[in-house]
Amino acid sequence: MGKELITKLLPLMEQAKWPQSPAATQQGRQTYLMGLDKVDEFKGNPKVLASALRIFLTGDSAPYAYAGAAYTLVTASREGDGRHDPDGLAAAMSWLEKAQELEPDVVDINMIEALIYTYDGRLDDARLVLEYLQGQDPRDYYLMKAEIAYWQQLGDMEQTIHWFNQAADTAVTVPQKLRLRGQLADFYMSAGRYDEALAVYKEAVQHDRNNYVFWHKISMIYWKQADYEEAARANQQALRLQDFPAGRKMEAALKKKMSGTGVLGRLFGNT
């Protein structure tokens, strides 16, 4: 995605009819928060970001709508390797500045500046913004998410985990909490802390048993731990919920690893 997606989004955003009211209204804020939640659902499907932009356009507040555009561009800028396209971040800053010209002191808007600095490698500037915003509203959910991004970029595992937990405690909706738990588990997994990742995925799946991605991640961890029987159980649960290539690949690997009789054989229909 990244640069390619930014190239597609920018012309659409320039042509859109944006709200005209210069005030940060309560209705505009509620619409903005709905749009941010939609952006956070993005996993590679551009239609999700297009849907988020449509939400931002329905608000009655130009600063919140412009900030929503900036947040969308920050998310769209992420490349497959985790880096962010510089042109996408520059475009995000341009939209953010339009919002800040109208409403210069709104935490929910200004947290985007910290995100842009973080992903642009300007960590000292990001820290200054974060410290300032913490002094205004230390319990802001999206500010806590910006802290997560900052500490991840800095490579500080314990601070990253701390802010994941703080944000999860502050989240007001179940989808927000589940996204954060899944992201924390992904973080543990990327660091090779498989027992902790497994515990968080298992906690998350208790609240969303139909989430095939969680079941697949559980299967992957059991595979890494050479617990092929549990890996197979989680894999079959994932595939019952959704037939997807990565799940079938895991199924094939498990069949090859443990084909024959016994419990695993019965799981795969070999007896």
> What is the average pLDDT value for the chain, to the nearest integer?
94
Angle between the N-to-C axes of helices 228-241 and 212-224, in degrees from 0 to 180, rounded to the nearest 10: 160
| Count of CB atoms situated within 10 Å of the CB of 102 | 18
How confident is the model over 27-49, as pLDDT tens digits? 999 999 999 999 999 989 999 99
For every residue of 27-51, which 3-state class applies, written as one string? HHHHHHHHHHHHHHCCCCCHHHHHH
This prediction's pTM:
0.90
- Give the ranges where 25-122 is alpha helix by DSSP (H): 26-40, 46-57, 62-76, 86-102, 107-119
Per-residue confidence band for 186, with pLDDT thresholds at 50, 70 and 90: very high
Check if the beta carbon of residue 182 is closer than 8 Å to that of residue 162: no
Structure tokens at 239: 């595939």
Structure tokens at 80: 């497959």
Q: What are the chain's domains? A: 174-271 (1.25.40.10)
Position 257 scores a pLDDT of: 85
pLDDT surpassing 70 at residue 266: no
